[in-house]
């Protein structure tokens, strides 16, 4: 019980550091050997920064939606995403024992992805531990064939082979080694909703025959 409480407090302290140094920041990234200060202040548990300039409510480089993935093996997942999707590592915050990450961030294309290790005591489990995921992360890229094949070569498992789809995308789906599902696409044709419906109806009719 006390060990679980200590873990929660340490994780909270590390998360405080994340926010007060404004991670992710590509200009001043965290590195693997830099360990956060995990000592909770006794007199003022939530430090207050004195703002001299207006703070951007949306950090530079962030979009409205940022996927936040729980994985079993966050450090390994970062390396996989580098090989599979040309990800750029922005930061990482190690846990108290140095073997897990309480927070990390990578950039794929123009978008940021947060990652952290499983914490079973807090109910934080990744797809491998849960037996699957209902979520698919969608990537639009310039050359879907090249990136799809690159990800498979890096170790991703094919869910859905690449093909030209009725909605105008060349699209395929993969599962990464950590259980997360990815859809990869390049838009190849502008199609009206009426035409999309017609194509789907034709495809369904063909399956019934």
The CA-CA-CA angle for residues 62, 178, 129, to 5°, reads: 110
Instruction: Determine the pLDDT at residue 22.
Output: 43
CATH topology match: 1-17+27-36+62-130 vs 133-209: yes
At which residue do the structure tokens 């090989």 appear? 83
Cis peptide before 184 (omega within 30 of 0): no
**CATH entry, 133-209, from 3.30.720.110, 2.70.70.10, 3.90.650.10, 3.20.20.70:** 3.30.720.110
What are the boundaries of each domain within the chain? Answer: 1-17+27-36+62-130, 133-209
Instruction: Determine the pLDDT at residue 155.
Output: 98
| Among 129, 132, 141, CA closest to 159 | 132
Q: Which CATH class is domain 1-17+27-36+62-130?
A: alpha beta
Q: Residues 182-192, buried b or exposed e (16+ Cβ, 10 A)?
A: bbbbbeeeebe
Chunked into runs of 10 residues, the chain (209 residues) has average pLDDT values of 44 44 42 41 54 85 96 98 98 94 98 97 95 97 98 98 97 98 98 96 83
pTM of the model: 0.75
Instruction: Determine the pLDDT at residue 196.
Output: 96
Torsion of CA 114, 116, 119, 122, to 10 degrees: -20
């Amino acid at each position: 019980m006390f060990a679980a409480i200590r873990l929660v407090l340490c994780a909270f302290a590390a998360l405080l550091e994340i926010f007060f140094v404004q991670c992710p920041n590509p200009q001043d990234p965290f590195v693997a050997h830099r360990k956060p200060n995990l000592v909770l202040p006794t007199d003022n548990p939530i430090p207050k920064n004195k703002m001299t300039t207006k703070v951007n409510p949306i950090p530079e480089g962030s979009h409205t939606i940022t996927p936040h993935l729980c994985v079993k093996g966050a450090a390994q997942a970062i390396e996989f995403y580098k090989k599979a999707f040309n990800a750029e590592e922005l930061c990482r915050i190690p846990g108290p024992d140095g073997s897990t990450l309480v927070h990390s961030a990578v950039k794929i294309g123009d978008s940021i992805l947060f990652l952290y290790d499983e914490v079973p005591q807090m109910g934080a489990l990744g797809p491998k531990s849960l037996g699957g995921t209902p979520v698919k992360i969608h990537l639009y890229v310039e050359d879907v064939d090249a990136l799809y094949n690159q990800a498979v070569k890096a170790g991703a498992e094919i869910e859905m082979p690449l093909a030209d789809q009725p909605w105008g995308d060349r699209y395929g789906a993969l599962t990464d080694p950590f259980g997360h599902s990815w859809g990869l696409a390049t838009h190849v044709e502008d199609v009206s909703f009426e035409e999309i419906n017609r194509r789907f109806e034709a495809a369904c009719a063909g399956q019934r025959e």
